Amino acid sequence: MADPLWTSEEIARATGGQANGGFTAGGVSIDTRTLEPGDLFVALAGVRDGHEFVAQALAKGAAGALVSRDVGGPAVKVADTQSALEALGAAARERAGGARRAAVTGSVGKTSTTQAIMAGLTLAGPAHSSVKSYNNHIGVPLTLARMPAATARAVFEVGMNHANEIRPLTRMVRPHVALVTTVGPVHTENFPDGEAGVARAKAEIFEGLEPGGVAVLNADNRWFDVLAAAARAAGAQIRTFGSADGCDARLIDFQAAGGHAVVQARLDGKAMDFPILQTGLHWGLNAMAVLLVLQAMDVDLDKSLAALGSFEPLAGRGAEREVALADGGGFTLIDESYNANPISMASAIATLGARRSQGRRIVALTDMLELGPEAVAFHAGLAEPLAAASIDLVFCAGPLMKSLWDALPSTRRGGYAETAAALASQVAGAVQAGDVVMVKGSNGSKAGLVAEALAALGSAAAGHGEAR
């Protein structure tokens, strides 16, 4: 087992619980499917009561459990396991009191930017971060509870679907640095005043800032003034990134080719060019944000640039692969299937349009969710950036994407289906050698099924070759 993270006595002291049987845990888990031997298993209430899985967790090697009722085996019993997890997270934060902490939110780019920041923190010393998109009322305290005492720097992703969700999370983290990547029409169905409400909800992140903390803001975003006012009210020092003169981190140019890009920028007036392993146009500004956060976290610039230069696209967020075809040749698959909203759609389409390709540029799109009454207009409106990018074929799936399908000229129509599963075979049957195919949509509309079907063509091609 790794270095001990918690003893049962420490857990009981942090949570006000009662330890039954002594144990030492090397990690914290809420899911028996991903539990590692030596973890503390936290029995949370959910669709299924976590207490139903305690025996399974112990059988898989859990060191003990955090529970609210008597169970067999080593455990710490508390009044409420969610509250106890939050208390354990607070204890971990205080225990690593010397660590500098950053919090990241935004309508687009939270997870990738958080992980790029983590890449820089890791080069600078003992570091800790969120995994996957652990950014809600469970994910944030869980990430805190997993933080080792020796952590020097940490970064936390903080998300929301409604107002008043970020406020308690940022107060758990108490960041020294808070980044808002951007604000746009995401989750607007939950806000009567649309994007303005989203902007105010994102600004809640500054309420948890430690005294003298730094707010890193996107000066290109239309809601910059709203965010800056909230940051100033919290006493934050404001650092800006964007494309305009006067930004602390200013993007001058972004040139992508061959699976990477070269970023031309000015940081505090100093000119610099550096490579990154990203091709999405949005990564120009993302890189500026990462540099400012790492600077505020006392990471040397050379380490920051090295981290950006080696950070690869995350699965479902722009990762590329070459897929062989059974009849020879192959195509490029760009997997953007994890999530989508009007901002990220427009950026991904523009990125594909700027790409040089000897074959066709094809997109397969599934519904963007949680856009409220403007959803149909947002989907139909994608016809304009698709035309501007000279995309050759468009495949659409879902009731909302039907509005885009209806807005497309016949020359650009590849195929339509009511579901992603039904669309997958259409796209797979249409691809040809030399094509570049991008798949994008909200996770809930199952865009990943299309990406999986396209990737499977490579396996089928390999099997075809073996049969010969």
Q: What is the 3-state secondary structure (H, E, C) of 313-353?
A: CCCCCCEEEEEECCCCCEEEEEEECCCCCHHHHHHHHHHHH
Identify whether residues 190 and 213 lie together within a single domain.
yes
Residues 109 and 76 in one domain: no
DSSP 35-103: --TTEEEE---SSS-GGGGHHHHHHTT-SEEEESS--SSSEEE-S-HHHHHHHHHHHHHHHTTT-EEEE
- Burial (CB < 10 A; 0-12, 13-18, 19+), residue 278, is buried
Distance CA 54, CA 57 (A): 5
Q: Examine residue 91 and state whether it is found in any structural domain, yes or no.
A: no
| 222 and 368 both lie in a single domain | no
pLDDT digits (tens, 9 = 90+) for 296-339: 999 999 999 999 999 988 888 888 889 999 888 899 999 999 88
Spatial separation of the C-alpha atoms in residues 451 and 397, rounded to whole Å? 13
Tell me: the pLDDT tens digits for 179-189? 999 998 777 77
> Which range of residues forms the domain containing residue 28?
6-80
Of the residues 286, 310, 334, the one at which a domain ends: 310
At 175, is the pLDDT very low, low, confident or very high (cuts 50, 70, 90)? very high
Mark whether 167 and 293 lie in a shared domain.
Answer: yes
Mean pLDDT of 20-24: 94
Residue 90 lies in a domain: no
- Confidence band (pLDDT; 50, 70, 90) for 108? confident
Query: Among 134, 223, 230, which residue's Cα sits nearest to residue 178?
Result: 230
Shared domain check, 132 and 72: no
pLDDT digits (tens, 9 = 90+) for 427-447: 999 999 999 999 999 989 999
Same domain assignment for residues 16 and 127: no
Q: What is the pTM of this model?
A: 0.83
**Number of domain units in the chain:** 3
Task: State percent of the chain over pLDDT 90.
Answer: 81
* CA dist., res. 441 & res. 210, Å (int): 37
> 328 and 274, same structural domain?
no
Report d(CA 364, CA 401) in Å as an integer: 10
Q: What is the mean pLDDT of residues 94-105?
A: 97
Q: Are residues 386 and 446 in the same domain?
A: yes
Q: Are 373 and 442 in a shared domain? A: yes
pLDDT at 1: 45
Q: What is the pLDDT of residues 194-245, one digit of tens each?
A: 889 999 999 999 999 999 999 999 999 999 999 999 999 999 999 999 999 9
Q: Is residue 89 part of a domain?
A: no
Which CATH number characterizes residue 57's domain?
3.40.1390.10
Nearest Cα residue to 256 out of 399, 436, 423: 436
Evaluate if residue 466 carries a pLDDT over 80: no
- Residue 190's CATH number: 3.40.1190.10
Domain final position from 23, 45, 80: 80
Residue where a domain terminates, one of 49, 80, 111? 80
Best CA proximity match to 406, nearest among 427, 429, 377, 447: 377
pLDDT tens digits, one per residue of 360-417: 999 999 999 988 888 999 999 999 999 999 999 999 999 999 999 999 999 999 999 9
Which CATH number goes with the domain that contains 341? 3.90.190.20
Other beta carbons less than 10 A from residue 411's beta carbon: 7
Does 64 map to a domain? yes
- Model pLDDT, residue 298: 98
294 with 343, same domain? no
